[in-house]
Amino acid sequence: MPANLPPQYFEVEKKYRSAKAPEDKLAALEEMLAIMPKHKGTDKIRADLKRRISKLKAQEQKKGGKRVFGFNIKSEGAGQIALVGPPNSGKSALLRALTRAEPEVADYPFTTRVPLAGMARFEDVQLQLVDLPPLAGEYIEPWVPDQIRRADLILVLLDLTGDPLHQLETLEALLAEKKIFLSGGPTPPDAWSGIIKPCFLAANKLDQEGAEDTLELFTEMLEPGRYVLPLSVQRADNLDLLPGLLFRALGIIRVYTKMRGKPADKESPYILPQGTTVMDLAAKIHKDIAGKFQYARIWGGDKYEGQKVQRDYILCDLDIIEIHV
């Protein structure tokens, strides 16, 4: 039976042949396997690809001892946000649109094989977005859930040209197998079965025909208290809103400090978790300051300019604080 391979297959095969590093070879082999249609005609080629993948993995394992094909993107900026979603939903396109990173964007699934990070700006802070391979299929590389676990926030990007509810449920089921649960979704069966990660839902390709209707249906089906931000990366719909919403979803605030009689230091805000008190901030600046703390003055929010606040005052985003010792 003829194999009828799609044209992209030959492109990736070229990539495989020119790859030098074992991880590039492996990525290309896995991509070839992913785009290979599944039918009798391709049985032999698929089996051969699988065999080559296992052999390459085994060789590298022997060389390095530990896991060789791991990736670990170090967190930078105010928070790390993992881009998670089904194949082809536009995760890499979104990374391209919001940051200077230039991941490959293509109209076939499983384009992304390795993580790529970029920094998105929200006012005076930088948020790190990490593009990941899609979550689907038979095999998920262990570094993918590891990276998701380490992220501060999961940005789930669904595709309005398909069935977003089904996509979300599939994703949640795959993550649950890795003991990762999304906030607002199904909860772990008990406290020891996994971690609950904050998540932000977005649905892409609002520009496509029928997408508005799909969005409406999907919104109605969502659990109470869950929201989804519709996007079109292509048309830039709502892209300007996203960084600010991600900042809020990270559960962080910016606080500026000032010295008596001087203007506030607007250059480098303290990035703090919501709920941080003035005393927590003092302790973070220096333990001596915390020890000698008398009171603080505050500018911003709903306070009078320069109003005195005590140690247990809970800071708000954009507060300016002058600590008196």
Ligand X SMILES: Nc1nc2c(ncn2[C@@H]2O[C@H](COP(=O)(O)OP(=O)(O)OP(=O)(O)O)[C@@H](O)[C@H]2O)c(=O)[nH]1
Contacts with ligand X, residue ranges (CB under 6 A): 85, 87-93, 105-107, 109-112, 134, 204-205, 207-208, 232-234
Of 42, 89, 92, 214, the one binding Mg ion by CB under 5 A: 92
Least distance (Å) between residue 208 CB and ligand X: 5
204 is a contact residue toward Mg ion (CB under 5 A): no
Q: What are phi and psi of 229, to 5 degrees?
A: -95, 115
Tell me which of ligand X, Mg ion, none is bound by residue 113, counting a contact when its beta carbon lies within the kind-specific cut-off of 5 to 8 angstroms. none
Tell me which of ligand X, Mg ion, none is bound by residue 205, counting a contact when its beta carbon lies within the kind-specific cut-off of 5 to 8 angstroms. ligand X
111 is a contact residue toward Mg ion (CB under 5 A): yes
112 is a contact residue toward Mg ion (CB under 5 A): yes
**CB-nearer residue toward ligand X: 143 or 256:** 143
Least distance (Å) between residue 162 CB and ligand X: 11
**CB-nearer residue toward Mg ion: 90 or 269:** 90
List the structure tokens of 174: 């795959």
Least distance (Å) between residue 93 CB and ligand X: 3
**CB-nearer residue toward ligand X: 163 or 207:** 207
**CB-nearer residue toward ligand X: 212 or 265:** 212
Q: Rounded to an integer, what distance in angstroms lies between the CA atom of residue 127 and that of residue 287?
A: 28
Looking up tokens 């333990």, which residue turns up? 287
Instruction: Give the CA angle between residues 165, 83, 115 to the nearest 5°.
Output: 135
Burial 123-155 (b: 16+ CB within 10 A, else e): eebbbbbbbbbbbbeeebbebbbebbbebbbbb
Residue numbers at the binding site for Mg ion (CB under 5 A): 91-92, 111-112
